[in-house]
Amino acid sequence: MKNLTIVAGHIFPHSSPTGKVALQFAEILKEKYQVSIIFIQSGDESYNGVVKQGFTLYSVFSPRLWFEHAVEKCASKRTSPRSIGLFWLASKIAKLSGRLSAWFIPGRPKSYLLWPDNLIWYYSKAYKQLEKNHTHENIDMILTINSPFPAHLAGRKFKTKNPHVRWLTFTIDPFARASDFSNRWLFRSYKTRIDTAEEKGVFKTADLNFVSEEVYETDTEIFAEVLDKVIPIPYLLQRAAPTGGDSRFPDGKINLIYTGRFYRSIRNPEYFLRIFCQIRNPDINLHLFTFSDCDDIIDKYVNQSLGRIIHHAPVTQDQVPDILNQANILVSVGNSTTSFKPSKLFEYLATGKPILHINQSNQHDDVLEKYPLGLQIYPGKLSETDTAVDMQLFCKAHADKQLPWESVNSLFSHHSLENIRNTILSNA
């Protein structure tokens, strides 16, 4: 059996959205390949050739990133505002140190200052691990997944040094679009030009490029010269079975649930929280399982909600299926840019639960339109008072409804495991 190495971001112990995609690819590709995965170590446990879930794992460590995750974890467990503030300050100092150190890290892929970002350290370490693995196991193919973008850069360097090794990429969040939602202030336009040029170089050098369907529709510019080796991949609709644990939520209430991250720049919760506070029904509660840079916004509306908005500590990925299964209504907050569709929506769809979707890009979501238990809210289309009424009516009418998995899978067969497996395996 041939050897495949995947280079991705955060996978174990807790997967990022792109880390979950990496695991989905790995599960499919292990039918044809012996799969190894190189990823960023975020927990205390390191992996150096450890076999888990049928994959050989190699974690790449960064002291700064480890410290950042450690203080954020401590902040999530505190209740004192002063204590939480101190831990968040430590986290921001750690992030700042990463940005400053990115100026001086040797061995960068290009001699650009401030490029690509404060994960530049991952480029050289992931590349060294690739070469080390190649020495021991003779890699036949690599697959790099963005984000982080340095995963692609490591793949490009490895491909340049080993042209006989087949290189596949998968892009969900184009790096060239990062300036659309970042707080970048220094040399913003110059860096955007660099990002675009280098991302185009990745698409040209790779043997084959998978992209999400949204990227294929909205960002053709970055791969227009090599359209013949770009293949769109749908998001995977995959059922996650709950364990059947005790309910976290009060009986007799309509419990709205949001799990995932908020981002102040592209997935800001303020509009939704403001509308929710206009719903005066004491039997409708909102539970937020989130980790974000929007805690000040969330706290403001928690204080206005008379106890109906509950901000929980973040949970592990293993706990999410139970939380979703125990919910009455699932809340989805879309991104303000159309090329970054939250993969969380497909995790919600797989449950068969009612979905309340805040469509912040104000563009109709065609996927959710097919779902009979969905309501799309468009900021600015109606008055906030009328929107609050619509939300309350939807929650009361659908609180106890759930579609069976067979119906959901039939509705979204384009996103089925079988369809995506066939696309990947026929091109890998």
- The domains of the chain are located at 2-62+117-233, 254-410
CA distance to 14, 140, 148, 189, 236, per residue, from 39 (Å): 11, 19, 10, 30, 21
- Closest by CA position to 167, among listed 117, 202, 116: 202
Q: Do 2-62+117-233 and 254-410 fold alike per CATH?
A: yes
Q: Which of 106-110's residues contact partners 24+ apart within 8 Å by CB, and which partners? A: 109/150, 109/153, 109/156, 109/157, 109/198, 110/194, 110/198
Q: For residues 342 and 260, is the Cβ–Cβ distance under 8 A?
A: yes
Alpha-carbon distance of 349 to 56, in angstroms, equals 31
CATH number of 254-410: 3.40.50.2000
Q: What is the pLDDT along the chain (428 residues), one digit of tens a residue?
A: 899 999 999 888 778 888 889 999 999 999 999 999 999 987 778 899 999 999 999 999 776 666 666 666 666 565 566 665 665 666 666 566 555 565 555 555 664 554 656 678 888 899 999 999 999 989 999 999 988 899 999 999 999 999 999 999 999 888 877 655 555 555 677 777 888 888 999 999 999 999 999 899 888 889 999 999 999 999 999 887 777 777 788 888 999 999 988 888 788 999 999 999 999 899 999 999 987 778 889 999 999 999 999 998 777 777 888 999 999 999 999 877 665 666 788 999 999 999 999 988 777 788 899 999 999 999 888 899 999 999 999 999 999 999 999 999 999 999 999 999 999 999 98
- Residue 315: burial class (beta carbons within 10 Å; 0-12, 13-18, 19+): middle
- Residue 51: burial class (beta carbons within 10 Å; 0-12, 13-18, 19+): exposed
Alpha-carbon distance of 9 to 175, in angstroms, equals 14
Residue with tokens 């996650």: 240
- Say what the pTM is: 0.82
CATH number of 2-62+117-233: 3.40.50.2000
* Six-digit token string for 167: 């290189």
Compute how many other C-beta atoms are within 10 angstroms of the C-beta atom of residue 168.
Answer: 24
